[in-house]
Amino acid sequence: MSDNLKAQLEAERRRRKELADSSTGSHSLSTDVKFDTDIYNTSDKFAGYDMSIDTDPTQDTVAPPTGRFGITAPRELIEELHGEGAEDDDDPFKALQRTRGTNRVIADRESDYQKRRHVRQLSPERTDSGDGGVSYSEAMRKNQLDREKADLLAKIKKAQDTAEEKRVAGEPLQPTKRRWDVETPVNPSSTAAPKRNRWDQTPADVGAVAATPRRNRWDETPQVASGGGVAFGETPKRVRSRWDETPVMVGGSAAIGFGATPAGNIGMATPSAAQMAAGTSILAKQQPQGQPDAMEARNLFQTDEELDSLLPKDGYAIMEPPPTYVPIRTPARKLMATPAPLRGSDGFHIPEETRHVDFDIPKEVPGVGALPFFKQDDMQFFGKLLDGQSEEDMDLAEKHERQVLRLLLKIKNGTPPMRKVAMRQIAERAREFGAAPIFNQTLPLLMSPSLEEQERHLLVKVIDRVMFRLGDLVRPFVHKILVVIEPMLIDEDRYARSEGCEIISNLAKAAGLPAMIATMRPDIDHVDEYVRNTTARALSVVASALGIPALLPFLKAVCMSKKSWQARQTGVRVVRQIAILVRSGVLPHLRSLVDCIGHGLDDEHLPVRTATALALAALAEAAAPYGIESFDSVLKPLWLGIRKHRGKGLAAFLKAIGFIIPLMEVEYANHYTREVMVILIREFQSPDEYMKNIVLKVIKQCVATPGVPVQYIKDEVLPEYFRNFWVRRMALERRQYHQVVETTVELANKVGGAEVINRIVLDLKDESGVYRNMVMEAISRIVQSLGAMDIEGRLEELLMDGVLYAFQEQASEGQVILDGFGVVVNGLGTRAKPYLQQITSALLWRLNNQNPMVRQQAADLVAQIAPVMKSCGEDELMSRISVMLYEYLGEEYPEVLGSILGALKSIVNVIGMTDMQPPIADLLPRLTPILKNRHEKVQENCLDLIGRIADRGPEYVSAREWMRNCFSLLDLLRAHKKAIRRAAVNTFGYIAKAIGPQDVLATLLNNLKVQERQNRVCTTVAIAIVAETCAPFTVLPALMNEYRVPELNVQNGVLKSMSFLFEYIGAMAKDYVNAVTPLLEDALVDRDLVHRQQAASAIKHMALGVAGMGNEDAVLHLLNHLWPNIFETSPHSICAVLEAIESCRVCLGPGRIVQYSLQGLFHPARKVREVYWRIYNMTFVASQPALVAYYPRIENDGDNVYRRYELDYIL
Amino acid sequence: MDKFGMHSQTEQLHARHIGTGNADTTKHQWLTNQHRDTLAHYVSDDSLATYISIAEGESAARTKFNMLQRMRQPCGPPPAQAAED
């Protein structure tokens, strides 16, 4: 600290002291605060800070968005940040969070186009009668106005642009466009929430929709009445103080963080997020309760002395208050009006408001209970539940609203059981609550900017369930629901899309077609393209839900619309979406759909023509290979179209032709292909990627049709095609890469593999790795589908040479080159023999390589080509490789070790146990320790290899070695991967078969005593497998003997193994039923619930296995012991018991079960009746016709005839 | 909560299988369903229908028709609610 600063501070402190002394009894800010000076160095505490705070109570303070962190950084930095790119507060970590799956907020991954959903409003509900809501005609009128406004704005913009151009032409030194230049929005609706900054003009409502312009926190505080400002005439500019940046928790009037959310007008029926924020001032209310003293100190009136000391002596006069002036005496209002710092006046604290509030957020909401989490944003929506009012004195509507809120909160934030209960309640009571409370709470929640995927899923589920219950009561809310759900139809997530489809189709079924059409009609020619697009998709869902014929007349009318081309375009798009959605379901309506849109090809507006062509393409694709006759009427316009159009329009027309040609008869297809090919070849050179994609697709379609002659393709298409598409540039973009490969494979299917491979084989030695990959992928797919029979002589050599080069040069890890190599070598088969020597030496060298990835690839390749080496008779080479692999079993990289094991397995498979080099007896002992490796790939491959040896050549290894293996295998029973557990269990079976079950079984039975459940479960499975492979009589005695151990885990394990055992051995069980019955009987009368449950599941499998084998007596005996367990309440055990009873039904016949259940169907106790009816229902559903003979005979009762006389007929 | 419990799918079950019941099913409802099942069985089984028609001395078609008619209220009208409780 420099000396002069210290001196300054000293002076300042002295001055303050004097000031405080002169005004005794006044509350000064900081002077009477005593710090522990030994801890706090107070001398420089306030240096650089403004000591005065604007606390004008009339000022309306802008509340910063809650939930954001307070900013502490040099102001220049902050202003720099917020001056330029503040509107989309880009957090560089968001992308990272998304990839890690920690951030699941939907709004963060939306594209700009998808973000336009935030602009849409939840319109008030529609009514037909016109009371309260908006009627159809009003909606249409509003829509019309919007369109006119948009037109006007576009015109103004155009006029301005031309004026600008002229001006620019006049004065070349044009100032750079600065941020305070007022922009005219290009698309009024897309810029609905323009960012303002303080240099803007007085806000004129530019945005068509925006009600609240977006403010940022740096804006000038809106001054309501700057009465106080007059006193300080010479300082009109408000002094910017540090406190401006501090988030002050006041229920402000503007919600800043939610600028993108449509802030609806107050007249809107559903309060939007922003409005709710504005209305909710709980935070403000809560906070003063916390610090009453601080508030009072802050809000005391300034005394005359204080004012005297503050203001200059001359130039000011003390005015008399006007006679009408009444001071505010209601303290609540005062508290609300003044923003108070959270801490009192006892010195400066680092502001911690936001964090403090976070702690304040209740985990416990009255009437809901403890929640796993409660986010800051939830406060807006669910704050109402926290205001602590009793519900006694509320009217019914308000009570319902609160109940719905509570249920929604449980569904959104609750634990799964809470959620389930709440979900059921809200569905069951939907009609009681009524549509309005539910939708008015749910839909704004779905519009919330911080919504996460899981939350959206749950809320959408709520809507679905509720809709099902409400039926046609949902009608007034159709539009609102659509506004919320439609964006899901263009979500990037497939599941979200299908979820959206489901909801809309259910909505259509609930509300009915007329309601749907009336609601969506105004959106069809909406000004905003986004709205039209989503509406088209929604309409297509409606069509698929209610049937295409129902919607056809409407679609026809829309496509004919004379009023606006947008409507026509939307109509055509609906047809396209229908085709995409219902696929071959369009066939019955194909002609009417084509007729409906056909005239759009001659429309005067290009977008309509393009959309029509795309729709036709979609229809043809969906209808393939049928329905060419329906397209007759559009062939000619399409044909003329491809000559007339350029660019995107041409692409659409080409696509349509390309999809129609495969439907044609052979000679027509040939003719049309030749005609269109000229244009296609011309467009090969197009730089436009969209065009390229379409050209490739069309080529693929045309080539696949049978009518096109091979020679023509060879002569006309191939040279140009390979010149334009097989270039390095194409490999760079993922989509084109795949398209080119697919089209090339299709071409090869037509003209033969050798022809195509010949043209690209040299590129295998290209210097670009990605391009080599592309070539390799194409070659491998061609060889895979066509074989390598036509590849001969020079081409064969070139190919093998290229493949080897590509393999040796590959830089990245990836399957393409490896698979390609394998496919080519396997395709060549015995013809690969001359190259094997070369390949082997390359492999051996690479197995020895320093780079682990190279070693891994080499081992993987060995696994792929081992069968070919065998069929070429190169056992010698293979032995060399396998010895080499054996030596590398000490490999330290687990991935590589896994591949080496895989290669060994492959070699063992083809060579056989006897000829294997190194001998099996040497190999297996090396494998046993590897089983202890924790890497999954190693475990899996090692287990496979050991299992294979145990299966095929157990005699090469000593029994003791196998037992050692068994012990290692036990650990693998608790692997995470199911495949490993299964392989381990199977290996137990093989080993048991090889060395006899006794020793293995002893190991396994011992393992039943361990504590870990997973381990025990797998052990039981292994025991059952051993019993299956070595016949049950070798295992059952020991198993049943083990049951005598007085230990819960062991006995349960025994019962569980029996359950698996009977499941595996099926009908073989008939010889063992009588043996195990006493054991099961004992288990069924045990006190332990799990005993009975396991016994029940054992009985289930046993009874199913022995059905029809003549063991009914034993099963009936067990059923008698089973029956008392039907009153179990634990889900697992009741399930097991009921399933066992069902199995007994299969074994004993349904009559027996019905006789058993008759005793309780009309029992006085409801609990008993419920269970018995459940069993009766079970039986009834399974074998209703059989029951006719078993119903009891019941005597007539008064008027009712209960006897079934026909049963008494005797002839 | 009630995944395996008593009421998880009863509603669906009733919707799909009319003859199923629950703790509140009355004797009359139960027996009506039984009779309908029985009659449906007779009608759908030709040999049973023939057997009954011979016993009743009616044509097979008439017997089937009669039985179909009876399926509306096979046990007569439901008893008054009070009597049931």
Q: How far is A187 from chain B (nearest CA, A)?
A: 51
Q: How far is A1151 from chain B (nearest CA, A)?
A: 14
Q: Which two tokens stand for residue A900?
A: 């080496």
Domain ranges of chain A: 3-44, 602-707, 813-915
Is the pLDDT at A210 greater than 60? The verdict is no
CATH class of residue range A813-915: mainly alpha
- A835 pLDDT band, cuts 50/70/90, is very high
Helices (H), A812-891: 815-828, 833-847, 852-871, 875-887
Weakest mean pLDDT among A245-254, A855-864, A1180-1189: A245-254
Check if the beta carbon of residue A535 is closer than 8 Å to that of residue A486. Answer: yes
ipTM more than 0.85? yes
B76 → closest Cβ in A1135, A1199, A1206: A1199
Contacts with B41 from chain A: Cβ below 8 Å: 1185, 1188
Instruction: Give CA–CA dist A587/A1067, Å, rounded.
Output: 49
How many residue contacts between A and B have a Cβ separation below 8 Å?
84
Name the residue with tokens 């399974």: A1182
Q: Which two tokens stand for residue A531?
A: 């709205």
Chain A residues contacting B, CB < 8 Å?
Answer: 417, 420-421, 1131-1132, 1134-1135, 1161-1162, 1166, 1169-1171, 1173-1174, 1176-1177, 1180-1181, 1184-1185, 1187-1188, 1191, 1194, 1197-1202, 1204, 1206, 1209-1211
Q: Do B77 and A1199 touch (CB under 8 A)?
A: yes
Contacts with B76 from chain A: Cβ below 8 Å: 1199-1201
Tell me the C-alpha to C-alpha distance, in Å, between residue A211 and each of A119, A224, A716. 11, 19, 61
Answer with the residue of higher pLDDT: A947 or A5: A947
Mean pLDDT of A341-354: 50
Range of A155-164, A302-311, B32-41, B73-82 with top mean pLDDT: B32-41
Residue B59 is given by DSSP the state -
pLDDT tens profile A486-524: 999 999 889 999 999 999 999 998 899 999 999 999 999
B75 → closest Cβ in A1171, A1191, A1202: A1202
For residue A369, the SS3 value is strand
Q: Which residue of B has its CA nearest to A1177?
A: B20
φ/ψ of residue A774, rounded to 5: -60, -45
Is the pLDDT at A668 greater than 50? The verdict is yes
Q: Do A1200 and B30 touch (CB under 8 A)?
A: no
Contacts with B43 from chain A: Cβ below 8 Å: none
Q: Do A1173 and B41 touch (CB under 8 A)?
A: no
Q: Considering chain A, what is the average pLDDT of its residues?
A: 80
- Interior CA angle at A120 toward A65 and A410, to 5°? 60
Check if the beta carbon of residue A24 is closer than 8 Å to that of residue A196. Answer: no
Is the pLDDT at A146 greater than 70? The verdict is yes
Q: Which residue of B has its CA nearest to A1131?
A: B4
Q: Do A1173 and B23 touch (CB under 8 A)?
A: yes
Weakest mean pLDDT among A163-177, A690-704, A810-824, B71-85: A163-177
Is the pLDDT at A249 greater than 50? The verdict is no
pLDDT value of position A1100:
96
pLDDT value of position A390:
75
Three-state SS annotation for A867-884: HHHHHCCCHHHHHHHHHH
Q: How far is B29 from chain A (nearest CA, A)?
A: 11
Contacts of range A765-772, beta carbons closer than 8 Å, 24 or more positions apart: A765/A802, A765/A805, A765/A806, A766/A728, A768/A728, A768/A731, A769/A809, A769/A810, A769/A811, A769/A812, A770/A728, A770/A731, A770/A732, A770/A737, A771/A728, A771/A731, A772/A806, A772/A809, A772/A810, A772/A817
Helices (H), A931-996: 936-952, 959-972, 978-995
DSSP-derived pairing of the beta strands A369-370 and A364-365: antiparallel
Q: Do A1173 and B21 touch (CB under 8 A)?
A: yes
Weakest mean pLDDT among A43-47, A548-552, A715-719, A853-857: A43-47
Is the pLDDT at A292 greater than 80? The verdict is no
Is the pLDDT at A3 greater than 90? The verdict is no
Answer with the residue of higher pLDDT: A181 or A373: A373
Contacts with A469 from chain B: Cβ below 8 Å: none
Question: What residues form DSSP beta bridges with A126?
Answer: A134
pLDDT value of position A1140:
96
Q: How far is B16 from chain A (nearest CA, A)?
A: 9
Contacts with B17 from chain A: Cβ below 8 Å: 1177, 1180-1181, 1184
Instruction: Give CA–CA dist A467/A457, Å, rounded.
Output: 15
A1188 → closest Cβ in B25, B41, B76: B41
B23 → closest Cβ in A1169, A1210, A1211: A1169
Crossing angle for the helix pair A565-582 and A513-524, nearest 10 degrees? 130
Q: Do A1184 and B55 touch (CB under 8 A)?
A: no
Instruction: Give CA–CA dist A737/A899, Å, rounded.
Output: 29
Q: Do A1170 and B6 touch (CB under 8 A)?
A: yes
Instruction: Give CA–CA dist A400/A104, Å, rounded.
Output: 31
Q: Which two tokens stand for residue A170?
A: 């006049």
Contacts with A1169 from chain B: Cβ below 8 Å: 23
As a dihedral over the C-alpha atoms of residue A1118, residue A1123, residue A1124, residue A1126, rounded to 10 degrees, the angle is 130
pLDDT value of position A137:
81
Is the pLDDT at A578 greater than 90? The verdict is yes
- Burial code (b: 16+ CB inside 10 Å, e: under 16) for A929-961 equals ebbeeeeebbbbbbbbbbbbbbbbbbebbeeeb
Which of A1072, A1160, A1077 lies closest to A1122 in space, CA to CA?
Answer: A1077
Q: Which residue of B has its CA nearest to A1182?
A: B17
Which H/E stretch holds residue A370?
A: strand A369-370
Give the number of other Cβ atoms within 10 Å of residue A1196's Cβ. Answer: 11
Evaluate the omega torsion of the peptide bond into residue A341 and state whether it is cis, within 30 degrees of 0.
no
Chain-centroid distance of CA A764 in Å reads 39
A417 → closest Cβ in B1, B10, B35: B1
Which of A1193, A1198, A1186, A1128 lies closest to A1153 in space, CA to CA?
Answer: A1186
Q: Do A1170 and B22 touch (CB under 8 A)?
A: yes
Name the residue with tokens 């049928």: A626
Domain ranges of chain B: 39-72
Answer with the residue of higher pLDDT: A1068 or A144: A1068
Q: Which two tokens stand for residue A922?
A: 């040497």
Instruction: Give CA–CA dist A969/A982, Å, rounded.
Output: 11
Weakest mean pLDDT among A167-171, A638-642, A964-968, A1133-1137: A167-171
Per DSSP (E only), the strands in chain B are none
Q: Which residue of B has its CA nearest to A1185?
A: B41
Classify residue A449 as exposed, middle or buried by CB count within 10 Å of its CB (0-12, 13-18, 19+).
middle
pLDDT tens profile A67-105: 444 445 555 555 555 544 444 445 556 666 666 666 677
Give the number of other Cβ atoms within 10 Å of residue A202's Cβ. Answer: 4
